[in-house]
Amino acid sequence: MERLLAVVTGGTRGIGRGVAKKLLDEGYDVLVAGTQPESKADEIVAPLLEDGPPGRCEYAKCDISVKDDRDELLSYVSSEFGRLDVLVNNAGVAPVVREDILVMKPESMDRLLDINLKGTFFMCQEAANLMLKLGPSGELKQRIINISSISAYASSTIRGEYCISKAGISMVTKLFADRLAEEGILVFEVRPGIILTDMTAAAKEKYDKLIDEGLTPIRRMGRPGDVADMVYAACTGLLDFTTGQVLNADGGFHLRRF
């Protein structure tokens, strides 16, 4: 059986790296996309292939907010792999400086919407068109999995632009799930909670205290592997009688509790 191909954007660190490793270990070929220079390809790919079954893993430089980069990435997928089974839209950024929404700069809003929201939207659009052109590999449906955040619905007034960008991803997921269902392409949203990565490491003590005090029913920070497991669950085919579904990788944060 031929190996399926997954493209993981923002796959060089944190959650994206965890997703890439999980899919490789589960038998996928993986094309990792990120903004690191091509000269670092071996440094990025080699650790992903360690301690796992043999597989094909490559790195491609791509800023998802730049159309030429998206076009080049998907052109490479088409010419070198001839298939696209899974797109994991994980690439995203946080504000450079956290500022109250009363003083947040337009430049910060533009940056986050260009990358997190517009970049994700157009990756969905362009990848969906390529999926339709190439067709599915065997009986398994093609799928798009967007990584959002609990910030899609939980207010953080010093990161307003981030919350808005992630809330937008939720609607992007609904729109493409609706449009692509008749084409046989499924779309999911995985919504991480407080995940221990290099982006949250500086605030670990704060989050540990909040969690110990009951912020989440499952009292620990999440790990990239927890999110990767949700992504893989959406890839297995066991969720194929739903689309547009939100998978909460959040320790139960989404529960409304007394």
Domain containing 175: what range? 5-249
The answer to whether residue 50 scores a pLDDT higher than 60 is yes
> Tell me, what's the pLDDT at 54?
87
pLDDT bin (cut points 50, 70, 90) of residue 53 is confident
* Number of independent structural domains in the chain: 1
- We report the CATH number of the domain holding residue 90 as 3.40.50.720
> Tell me, what's the pLDDT at 236?
95
Residues 6+ apart with CB under 8 A from 2: 137, 138
The 3 state secondary structure assigned to the chain is: CCCCEEEEECCCCHHHHHHHHHHHHCCCEEEEEECCCHHHHHHHHHHHHCCCCCCCEEEEECCCCCHHHHHHHHHHHHHHHCCCCEEEECCCCCCCCCCCCCCCCHHHHHHHHHHHHHHHHHHHHHHHHHHHHHCCCCCCCEEEEEECCHHHCCCCCCCHHHHHHHHHHHHHHHHHHHHHHHHCEEEEEEEECCECCCCCHHHHHHHHHHHHCCCCCCCCCECHHHHHHHHHHHHCCCCCCCCCCEEEECCCCCCCCC
Question: Does residue 75 form part of some domain?
Answer: yes
Please write the tens of the pLDDT for every residue from 6-26.
Answer: 999 999 999 999 999 999 999
Question: Does residue 254 form part of some domain?
Answer: no
More confident residue, 109 or 198: 109
Is 153 part of the annotated catalytic residue set? no
Least confident among 13-17, 49-53, 253-257: 49-53
- Identity of the amino acid at 160: G
> Tell me, what's the pLDDT at 98?
95
Question: Does residue 255 form part of some domain?
Answer: no
Distance CA 116, CA 189 (A): 14
Question: Does residue 21 form part of some domain?
Answer: yes
Question: Does residue 222 form part of some domain?
Answer: yes
pTM score of the predicted model = 0.96
The answer to whether residue 1 scores a pLDDT higher than 70 is no
Q: Which of 28, 162, 207, 232 is catalytic?
A: 162
Distance CA 228, CA 240 (A): 18
